Chain A
Amino acid sequence: MTDYTPRTLDTLRIADDDLRAVLEGRRHLLFDGGMGTMLQAAGLAAGELPELLCLTNPDEIRAVHTAYVEAGAEVVTTNTFGANARKLGDAATVEDVFCAAVRCARDAGARYVAGDIGPTGALLAPLGTLTFDEAYELFAQQVRAAVAAGVDLIVIETMTDLAEVRAAVLAAKEHADLPIFATMTFEADGRTFLGTPPEVAAATLDALGADVVGINCSLGPAELAPFARRMVASTAKPVMVQANAGLPKVRDGKTVYDIDPATYAAGVQAMVEGGVGVIGGCCGTTPAYIRLLADIVRDRVPAAHPAAGALTVASAQTLVALPEAERRVAVIGERINPTGKKRLQAALREGDIDYVIGQGISQQEQGADILDVNVGLPGIDEPAVLARVCEQLSAATVLPLQIDSTDPAAIERAVRRYAGKPIINSVNGKRESLDAILPIAAHYGANIIGLTLDEDGIPDTAQARFAIAQRIVDEAARYGIGPDRILIDCLVMTASTNQAQALEILRAVTMCRERLGVHCALGVSNISFGLPARELMNATFLAAAFGAGLDAPIMNPGSARYMDAVRAFRVLNMEDAGSVAYIERYATWADPYKGHPANTAQAAGDTIAADAGDPIRHLILTGKKDEMAAATERLLATCDPMDLINDHLIPALDEVGELFDKGAYFLPQLMASAECARVGFDTIRRLMPASDIASKGSICLATVKGDIHDIGKNIVKMLLDNYGYTVFDLGRDVDPQAIVDEVRARGVELVGLSALMTTTVPAMEQTIDLLHEQVPGVKVVVGGAVLTPEYASQIGADYYAKDAAETARIAEELFGADA
Chain B
Amino acid sequence: MCTVPEALQAPVPYQPDAAQRPAIDRAEVLRYLGYAGQHIDEELAGRIERIVAELEHEVAPRGVRRVFAVDATGTDAAGDPCIRLVGTTVELRGRDVFRHLKDARCCALVAATLGMASERRLRLLARQNPLDAAILDAAGSAYIEAAVDEMDAAVGNAAQEAGLTRNWRFSCGYGDCPLAAQDAIVAALDATRRIGLTVTDSHLLLPAKSVTAMVGLFDGDAHAADTRPSCAICRLAGSCSFRARGTTCYAGT
Contact = CB atoms under 8 A, between A and B. Distances in A.
Interface of A: 45-48, 119, 121-123, 126-129, 158, 160, 185, 193-195, 217, 247-250, 252-253, 255, 354, 357-358, 361, 395-396, 622-624, 663-669, 671-672, 674-675, 705-711, 714-715, 717-718, 733, 757-760, 785-788, 802
B134 A396 contact: no
B192 interface: yes
Contact of A709 (B7, B179, B186, B208): B208
A718 B125 CA distance: 13
B130 A671 contact: yes
Contacts of B184: 47
Given A46-B88, A121-B199, 17 more contacts: A46-B187, A122-B200, A126-B123, A193-B195, A194-B116, A622-B41, A623-B43, A666-B38, A667-B134, A671-B130, A706-B201, A709-B208, A714-B130, A714-B133, A733-B200, A788-B239, A802-B241
Contacts of A361: 124, 128
A707 B202 contact: yes
29 contacts: A45-B87, A46-B88, A46-B190, A47-B88, A47-B186, A48-B187, A122-B199, A127-B116, A127-B207, A128-B200, A129-B200, A158-B193, A195-B120, A250-B6, A250-B10, A361-B128, A664-B38, A666-B34, A667-B34, A671-B134, A672-B44, A675-B130, A705-B202, A708-B204, A709-B208, A714-B127, A787-B239, A788-B239, A802-B241
Nearest to A256: B10
B227 interface: no
Contacts of A674: 130-131
A714 B126 contact: yes
B33 A667 contact: yes
Contact of B90 (A47, A119, A624, A785): A47
Nearest to B90: A47
With a 10 A CB-CB cut-off, give which of B66, B120, B127, B190 has the most chain A CB atoms: B127
B134 A715 contact: yes
Contacts of B119: 127
Interface residues of B, number: 67
A195 B116 contact: yes
A123 B198 CA distance: 6
Max chain B C-beta neighbours (<10 A), residue from A193, A671, A674, A718:
A193
- The 10 A-B pairs with the shortest beta carbon distances in the complex, nearest first, are A193-B196, A47-B187, A706-B202, A47-B188, A671-B131, A250-B9, A788-B239, A123-B198, A46-B188, A250-B10
Contacts of B41: 622-623
Interface string B175-193: 0000100001011111011
A82 to B, nearest CB: 9
Contact of A253 (B6, B43, B133, B135): B6
Contacts of B38: 663-666, 669
Nearest to A712: B134
B85 to A, nearest CB: 9
Given A121-B192, A395-B123, A706-B202, A358 B128 contact: yes
Q: B6, B36, B190, B198: which has the most chain A beta carbons within 10 Å?
A: B198
Given A45-B88, A248-B10, A759-B179, A708 B133 contact: no
Contact of A788 (B35, B128, B238): B238
A705 B201 CA distance: 10
B48 A668 contact: yes
A30 B173 CA distance: 47
Contacts of B245: 663
B27 to A, nearest CB: 13
B188 A357 contact: no
A69 to B, nearest CB: 26
B129 to A, nearest CB: 8
Contacts of A668: 33, 44, 47-48, 131, 134-135
B236 interface: yes
